[in-house]
Amino acid sequence: MSAEDRYLELVPLAALDALDGDDAVEFRRHLPTCQACRAELEAFERASARIGVDVARVAPPPDLRQRMLAAVGAPVAQPPAARRPPAFPWLGTLAAAAALVLGVGLLATRHQLQRERARAQTLAAEAERAQREVVDLQQLTRLAGLQPAPGARARVIWNPATREAVLIASGLQAPPPGKAYEVWVIGEAKQPAPAGVFEPAADGTALVHLPRVEETARPRTFAVTLEPAAGSAAPTGEMVLAGAVS
């Protein structure tokens, strides 16, 4: 394995903040010098953020301390009586204990590293699959400003499977007193379904999470009208934005 391959293999662990010891030191030193590893690290960090993974810092296994203590306290075999006892028997015992402690520690670290590595790979695969599903399911419809608001623009990003939808608009004027903008989803029934009332921000933009309405499963048109501030059950005011689903 080349040195670069080894660094790339450490990237998923670095993204999970799970590197320690020499690996962490070497990786930190290498990162500013290597575009490939930085790009890979960014991708992994995005991947874990995307699926909301909150990976705690890797802690040593909880039983490690017990195992180390047990190793130190373990009875050490006595030399056969026929042989001359060593001058410093405690030295041999301590050395054996130290070797055991070191050995257990190294094994634990190595095992942990392998486990975290496997976990990071699983997470990355899951994130990729989730991302693919989101891309497959989300649709985008553009809405154009009509005569009352020719400068207005909007997009609706919607998911027919979950009926979730978000409207992002710009170029909207503040509605007259007592009025608000209302969103409509028009499906096959032709009867527009009310999908939320909103007021744009001072800069004319709006980001509205629309309530889930059944029409979002198979919408034909998204529209925005000016309505009484409490909202209407069916559109009564001027249509400000509209977009047909292609």
Q: What residue ranges bind Zn ion (CB under 5 A)?
A: 7, 34, 36-37
Within 16-88, where are the H helices? 21-30, 35-50, 64-73
Instruction: Look up tokens 């130290």; give the residue.
Output: 98
CB nearer to Zn ion: pick between 35 and 78: 35
Closest approach of Zn ion to the CB of residue 203, in Å: 43
From the list 49, 42, 54, 52, the residue with the least C-alpha distance to 14 is 42
CB nearer to Zn ion: pick between 28 and 129: 28
Within 138-147, where are the H helices? none
CB nearer to Zn ion: pick between 7 and 184: 7
Closest approach of Zn ion to the CB of residue 27, in Å: 9
Please give the residue whose beta carbon sits closest to Zn ion in the complex: 34
Instruction: Look up tokens 């060593």; give the residue.
Output: 86
Closest approach of Zn ion to the CB of residue 38, in Å: 8
Closest approach of Zn ion to the CB of residue 35, in Å: 8
From the list 218, 191, 217, 197, the residue with the least C-alpha distance to 209 is 197
CB nearer to Zn ion: pick between 37 and 123: 37
Describe the crossing of helices 21-30 and 3-15 by its angle, rounded to 10 degrees: 110
